[in-house]
C-alpha cells in the first residue's frame, strides 16, 4: 500500500514538473473540484492534458500581472500562470537589466484590463515555464486582442498553436501599426520583443 502511494506521488510530481497537468474529480455531493497541486488520495481522480475540458465555463480571479503578456490566476483549487497566447509584449528588464520601451505601459494596460477581475480562459495547452497558453476573456472581451489593438503587443512570431485563429490578431496588428498606436510610434527604431530578448539575454 505504501509503495503504491509513493508511486502515485512520484508520477504526480513528475507530471507537474514536466507537463503541468490538471486533475479533477467529483465529490459525493456532486461538486466538481480541480487541482494542479495535490489531488486527494481517497477520491477517484482523473487527469487532463486538454485544459479546456477543465476550464470550460469556469471563471478565475487574476492575482498578479507580471508584464504585458503574463498573469497569475486562481480558482477551483488552482493557482497558475498564463502566457497570453498569440501575442508578445515589450520585455521588462530582468533583475535590473534594461527594460524595452513601452514594457511598463504594456503591463499597466493589461493590469487595467484584468487586475482583480474574474476571467474566462480558452487554453491551448501548457507552454514554456509550465504556463498555460491561453486566450483570456473579461465579459467576453478577448484581452489578448485588446493588447494588440492598443499597440502594446505584437502577434507572436514564433510557433503558434494550430487551432489559434491568428488572422484577427494579424489584422488588428496591422491597424495598430498604421495608426501608430502605442509602441508602433517608434517607427523604424522599433524592435520586436523576440529581437530584444536576443540582444538582452537573461543573466
In terms of Cβ atoms closer than 10 Å to its own Cβ (0-12, 13-18, 19+), residue 88 is buried
Cell of 172: 488588428
Catalytic pick among 91, 146, 154, 172 = 91
Q: What number of CA atoms fall less than 13 Å from residue 23's CA on the CB side?
A: 18
Under a CB-based contact definition with an 8 Å cutoff, are residues 105 and 118 in contact?
no
Catalytic pick among 46, 61, 83, 154 = 83
Query: Catalytic: 46?
Result: no
Strand partners of residue 118? 61
Report the alpha-carbon angle 195-196-200, nearest 5: 125
Catalytic pick among 7, 46, 61, 131 = 131
Query: Catalytic: 91?
Result: yes
DSSP, collapsed to helix, strand or coil, labels residue 131 as coil
Query: Catalytic: 131?
Result: yes
- For 61, list phi and psi in degrees, rounded to 5: -95, 135
Task: Please identify every residue annotated as catalytic.
Answer: 83, 91, 131
Amino acid at each position: 500500500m505504501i509503495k503504491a502511494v509513493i508511486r502515485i506521488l512520484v508520477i504526480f510530481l513528475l507530471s507537474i514538473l514536466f507537463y503541468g497537468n490538471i486533475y479533477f474529480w467529483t465529490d459525493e455531493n456532486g461538486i466538481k473540484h480541480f487541482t494542479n497541486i495535490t489531488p486527494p488520495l481517497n477520491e477517484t481522480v482523473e487527469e487532463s492534458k486538454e485544459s479546456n475540458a477543465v476550464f470550460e465555463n469556469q471563471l478565475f480571479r487574476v492575482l498578479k500581472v507580471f508584464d504585458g503578456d503574463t498573469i497569475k490566476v486562481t480558482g477551483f483549487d488552482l493557482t497558475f500562470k498564463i502566457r497570453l497566447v498569440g501575442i508578445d509584449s515589450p520585455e521588462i528588464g530582468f533583475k535590473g537589466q534594461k527594460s524595452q520601451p513601452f514594457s511598463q505601459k504594456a503591463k499597466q494596460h493589461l493590469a487595467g484590463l484584468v487586475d482583480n477581475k474574474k476571467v474566462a480562459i480558452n487554453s491551448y495547452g501548457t507552454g514554456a515555464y509550465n504556463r498555460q497558453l491561453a486566450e483570456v476573456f473579461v465579459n467576453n472581451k478577448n484581452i489578448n486582442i485588446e493588447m494588440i489593438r492598443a499597440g502594446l503587443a505584437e502577434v507572436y512570431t514564433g510557433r503558434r498553436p494550430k487551432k489559434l485563429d491568428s488572422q484577427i490578431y494579424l489584422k488588428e496588428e496591422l491597424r495598430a501599426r498604421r495608426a501608430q498606436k502605442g509602441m508602433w510610434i517608434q517607427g523604424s527604431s522599433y524592435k520586436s520583443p523576440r529581437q530584444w530578448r536576443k540582444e538582452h539575454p537573461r543573466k
